[in-house]
Amino acid sequence: MNKPSIAFLGLGIMGTGMAHRLLGAGFPLTVYNRNADKAKALGAAGAKIAATPRVAAAGADFVITMVADDVAARAVWLGESGALAGAKAGAILVECSTVTPEWIAELAAAAQKKGCLLLEAPVTGTKPHAAAGELTFLVGGDAKVLEQARPVLAVMSKAILHLGPHGSGAHIKLLNNFLCGVQAVSFAEALVFIEKSGLNRMQALDFILNGNPGSPLVKTMATRMLGGDFTPNFSMKWMAKDLAYSVAAGKKLSVDLATVATAQAALEKGIAAGLGEKDFSAVVELLRKK
C-alpha cells in the first residue's frame, strides 16, 4: 500500500529531526519553513519544499506543525497562505507545538469548519530524541483519529499517550514544562550554593543526584551545567514562554502556580543577559556571576 502523504511545517530544533524521521521511513514529504534555508537539507534528501503552508498542505493526507508558540501557529494555519486554506477535506491535522489550550480550541473549530480532523500532539523530549525517533506524544482528540495517525506518529516516537479530548495534550505539556523549568532553576541555585559553600562539589553532587532530589531532569541539568556546553536542546526563551503559558492556564482553572515566579524571573534575566538562544540550563551562568 502507498504511504500517506505528509506536509510538515516548522523546521526548528525539533521539527527538523521529526521531518527527517518521516522522510527516512518512506513517507512522501513536503516541508515548509519560514526561513527556507532550513529546508535545504531535507530537500536534498528527497522532500519537496513548499513556498507557503497552503502549498505544502495542498493534497496532503496529514499536515503536521511544530512551531514556537500560538502566534507562529496561527501564522502557519490561518489566512490566505495558511495550511487550512490548502488542506483537503478529511485530512488529519496534527498540532505538535507547545501552545495554549485556547489556541487548540480555536484550531479545532477551524478544522471542523474545513472538514478536517484535528489531533493535538505536543511532545516531550529534546533535539536528540527528535532525531532518534524517541519522543513521547501527548495526544488530545478523538481516539479513532489517533488510530489513523498512529503509524505516522510511531515513526517519530517511543510512546503515544491518548489523554482525552482536545485541550488535554496542551494542559499536560504545560504542566510537564512547568515542573521541568522549576526543577532546572532550583538545581542551578543548589549547584551555585555548593560551589560557593566550600563543600567538595563532586561529593555533594553525588549525594544529591543519587538521593531523593535526583530526578532524570536534575541529572540532565547537572551534566549540562557542569560541562558548560549550552548548545540548545531546548532554548531558554522557549522555556520562559512555556512557563508564562502554564501560569495563564493555571489562572483559568483558579490554580496559582506560585513556584513558577522565581524560575520565570531567573530565565527572563538570562534572556535579558543574552542567553535566550542557549539551552535553558545556561541559567546557572547567570547565578554564578552574582
Q: Is residue 1 included in any domain, yes or no?
A: no
Q: Is residue 141 included in any domain, yes or no?
A: yes
Same domain as 190, residue 122: no
Quick one: cell of 60? 496532503
Domain ranges, residue 27: 6-165
Quick one: cell of 250? 493555571
Any idea what the CATH number is for the domain that residue 96 is in? 3.40.50.720
Final residue of a structural domain among 121, 137, 165 = 165
Same domain as 179, residue 88: no
Any idea what the CATH number is for the domain that residue 191 is in? 1.10.1040.10
Report pLDDT digits (tens) over 8-47: 999 999 999 999 999 999 999 999 999 999 999 999 999 9
Q: Is residue 144 included in any domain, yes or no?
A: yes
Question: In Å, what is the CA distance from 64 to each residue of 15, 237, 287?
Answer: 9, 23, 38
Q: Residue 186: what pLDDT?
A: 98
Candidates 114, 173, 237, 241; catalytic one:
173
Residues 126 and 103: beta-carbon distance below 8 Å: no
Catalytic annotation present for 290:
no
Q: How far is CA 69 from the centre of its chain?
A: 9
Report pLDDT digits (tens) over 178-227: 999 999 999 999 999 999 999 999 999 999 999 999 999 999 999 999 99
Q: Residue 39: what pLDDT?
A: 97
Same domain as 30, residue 11: yes
Q: Three-class SS of residue 189?
A: helix
Q: Residue 247: what pLDDT?
A: 97
Same domain as 157, residue 15: yes
Report pLDDT digits (tens) over 88-128: 999 999 999 999 999 999 999 999 999 999 999 999 999 99
Report pLDDT digits (tens) over 154-176: 999 999 999 999 999 999 999 99
* Predicted confidence (pLDDT) at residue 290 exceeds the cutoff of 90: no
The 3-state secondary structure of 212-243 reads CCCCHHHHHHHHHHHHCCCCCCCEHHHHHHHH
Same domain as 135, residue 94: yes
* Predicted confidence (pLDDT) at residue 1 exceeds the cutoff of 80: no
Q: Which residues of 201-226 are buried (b: 16+ CB within 10 A; e: fewer)?
A: eeebbeebbeeeebeebbebbbebbe
